Amino acid sequence: MTSESQDESVLQLTPENQPDATGGEGGGEEVAPVIIPRRQKRRPRKSKFLAGLLAALLPGTGHLYLGLLRKGISVIFIILLDISALLYFSSIGMQINVPLLILLALLIPVIYFYNLFDVLQSADRLLRAYDSQALALPDDTVKHKGRRSFISEPGISFGLMLLVGGIMLFLFRLRPLWLQTFIENDAGIAVSAALLAGGLLLAVREISKVWMTRRAGRLPARRVGRYTAAAVLAGVGALLLLDSMYETERMLQLLKWWPLIPVLWGIEYVLIGFIARRRAKGQPRRRSRMDLRGVLSSVILAASVFLVAEQEQYLHVWNKVSLNLTAAAVDYGEAEGSRFEKAPLIVPVELNTSKITVDGINGDILVHRAAVEDVEITATVWVDQLEGVQAEAISEQSFVEVAEGATIKITPQGRAYGESGKRQPRMDLDISLPEDRRFNLDIRTMNGDITLQNVEAIKDISLETGNGELILHRIFGNVKGKTLNGAVRARAVNGDVELATSGGSMDAWEVAGSLKLSTAVGNISATDSGADMNLSSKNGNLVVNGARSGLQAESLNGTISIRSADFGGDWDVYSAVGDIDLALPAEGNYEVEGSSGYGNIFSEIPGLTIDKKSISGTVGNGEFKLRVEGNSNLNVRIY
């Protein structure tokens, strides 16, 4: 038969070439013509090398080349969204969350290498399908099903990604003020709600899938780990929700309770195996499969949320480097040379104004109450290394930018100068607040002191400086602050105080609320605090006068001296290297347990027993506990 006859779609069988009943040629009855289907034209074979090269040059294009349009568009879109989020969170005026920026930055190489891996895997599957002609069937529906059986592409989630991601891209581009306010105040609640909803959705989908499979008369294929993943997401979401609503620190419990994840996974594995063994006799056994991807995804997501939400608890190394990502590139001018005082800047205070933020670069910031109706700002500009007209020009181009509204944002904008073009003029701010108004405060500067005098907040005050002192006097509100290199002084604060410094002494007097002071190098002194105290110095002495409630005092290298006429809470005192001197009331209700590794122990209080390197005993009914441990001399005297 010739090639021309093979291309014919209909082949007529004549009586001469029609086979008879015995298999020979010859006469017989006429038969209907046999229709031979026309061959389908096969699609051109894709190149795995070209797909990988395109994916390496521009993520997503390799998938597009293979015809996986939704996957390719998803890769490109997610990278664009990640870059937009990175630029947004690193450029807006609120406090930079370093772990969030790190995670967003790491997501780019993760997506890039996943894009390479997936495009090579997809190319292998497509080529195998091509060689077996699984994708060359005449029925489009069958072709589609065959294609999906080899390669999985996103379904309705693709549309949701475009919808939600497009809205976020739009907001990151416009940078509306309400979005920043939402992130600062309500992001924790929103993320916790999303985690709770995600965990609930995973569990409900798994339950409904098992139920529908059984209803169809088939044995369900269980994924072991799906309920564990749901529990992890829901648990982290619940802790984050409690912390966001009640300002607690329950998320830190994850550091202790994370081993429950393999425990839950193991319980789920045992229960599913036990249920599978109780199947009816004669039924085929349906093996379960491990949902490793679901468990790992939930753990990674939970860890990311923890890192972002609890950055204050572990990022001390970042504090030693810089307060934000651009600090290392700044050259700070000194308070010397030419001095220029700007005219006072009046900022109207609206009825809904509740917060004032100051984001400085170089200069002292003084905030105090005065007999004014609105917020008044006086800026003093120092220009060193330049004189005359040049210094005056730098001063004129330096100004204070203010954004009004519910949150008043004050941002000094200095004109950089010098040979490097990065030297910032020093801009000292004197900010006067109305006496009849209260504002929450968020004050930051890279280089300079922050001083608050006679200030009343609605609730919270946040302070941060890279190189300078923190000075508080007659403050109403809860205060959190830190400095990398500078002393800290707080006097007459009606509220909780939490201050930290990497290098500098710390002093506190008459703090009504709880007091937490920590320094890497420096002495700590606390006098007449009314609530619990937590004092910690890596290299420095601790002095406490008047501890009315609970006390935690720790020094790795330094002496500890505590004098108090009251004992109204549990005490924990530890010094790795240094003497410990305690002056305690002779009458009270406390129990003493102490030890000294290499020093001597001395006591003046009756009822306390010294046994070699330990001291113990009870005063009164022993309601409170005093635990003291050291390696040098331990002296217990009567106050």
| Amino acid of residue 137 | L
Tens of pLDDT, residues 564-585: 988 888 999 999 888 999 999 8
Which residues on neighbouring strands pair with residue 434, listed in sequence order? 370
Residue-wise DSSP of 145-205: HHHHHHS----HHHHHHHHHHHHHHHHHHH--HHHHHHHHHHHHHHHHHHHHHHHHHHHHH
Tens of pLDDT, residues 5-63: 444 444 444 444 454 544 444 444 555 565 555 555 556 778 889 999 999 999 999 99
Determine which helix (DSSP H) or strand (DSSP E) holds 434, and give its type and residue range. strand 426-434
> Which two structure tokens, joined as six digits, stand for 224?
């072991």
Question: Quick count: other Cβ atoms within 10 Å of Cβ 567?
Answer: 23
Q: Are 36 and 9 in contact (CB under 8 A)?
A: yes
Mean pLDDT of the chain: 83
Average pLDDT for 212-217 = 75
Any idea which residue has 């406090």 for tokens?
A: 95
Tens of pLDDT, residues 439-475: 999 999 989 999 999 999 999 999 999 889 999 999 9
What is the pLDDT, as a whole number, of residue 35? 59
| Percent of the chain at pLDDT exceeding 70 | 82
pLDDT greater than 80 at residue 265:
yes
3-state secondary structure of 13: coil
Determine which helix (DSSP H) or strand (DSSP E) holds 82, and give its type and residue range. helix 69-91
pLDDT band at 132 (very low <50, low <70, confident <90, very high): low
Query: What ranges in 254-315 are assigned the alpha helix state H?
Result: 254-257, 260-277, 292-309
**β-pairing verdict for 614-619 and 590-596:** antiparallel
- 139 contact partners, CB below 8 Å, separation of at least 6: none
Report which DSSP code applies to 540.
Answer: S
What is the pLDDT, as a whole number, of residue 411? 93
What is the pLDDT, as a whole number, of residue 215? 76
Tens of pLDDT, residues 369-396: 999 999 999 999 999 989 899 999 999 9
What is the pLDDT, as a whole number, of residue 419? 79
**β-pairing verdict for 426-434 and 450-465:** unpaired
What is the pLDDT, as a whole number, of residue 453? 95
User: For residues 240 and 258, what is the distance between their CA atoms, to the nearest angstrom?
Assistant: 15
Average pLDDT for 485-510 = 93
Please state which of the ranges 246-255, 272-281, 442-451, 454-463 shows the lowest mean pLDDT.
272-281
Tens of pLDDT, residues 193-204: 999 999 999 889
What is the pLDDT, as a whole number, of residue 467? 87
Residue-wise DSSP of 394-431: HHHT-EEEEE-SSEEEEEEE---BSSSS-EEPEEEEEE
Residue 560, classified by CB atoms within 10 Å of its CB into exposed (0-12), middle (13-18) or buried (19+), is buried
Residue-wise DSSP of 43-62: PPPPPHHHHHHHHHHSTTHH
3-state secondary structure of 302: helix
pLDDT band at 321 (very low <50, low <70, confident <90, very high): very low
3-state secondary structure of 583: strand
| Per-residue H/E/C for 331-350 | EECCCCCEEEECCCEEECCC
Average pLDDT for 199-228 = 82
**β-pairing verdict for 426-434 and 542-547:** unpaired
| CA 180 to each of CA 174, 190, 192: distance values in angstroms, whole numbers, following the listed order | 11, 14, 18
What is the pLDDT, as a whole number, of residue 157? 81
How many helices (H) and strands (E) would you count in the chain? 14, 34
Burial of 65-100, coded b for 16+ CB within 10 Å and e otherwise, reads: bbbbebbbbbbbbbbebbbbbbebbbebbbbbbbbb
| Of 377, 315, 300, the residue nearest 344 (C-alpha) | 377
What is the pLDDT, as a whole number, of residue 322? 44
| Amino acid of residue 413 | Q
Domain boundaries, the chain: 1-39, 40-175, 184-277+287-314, 332-496+506-516, 523-639
pLDDT greater than 50 at residue 141:
no
User: For residues 115 and 55, what is the distance between their CA atoms, to the nearest angstrom?
Assistant: 7
Report if pTM > 0.75. Answer: no
User: For residues 45 and 132, what is the distance between their CA atoms, to the nearest angstrom?
Assistant: 12
pLDDT band at 139 (very low <50, low <70, confident <90, very high): very low
**In 448-598, at which residue ranges do the beta strands (DSSP E only) sit?**
450-465, 470-483, 488-494, 497-503, 506-511, 515-521, 524-529, 533-539, 542-547, 551-555, 560-563, 571-575, 580-584, 590-596
Average pLDDT for 174-195 = 86
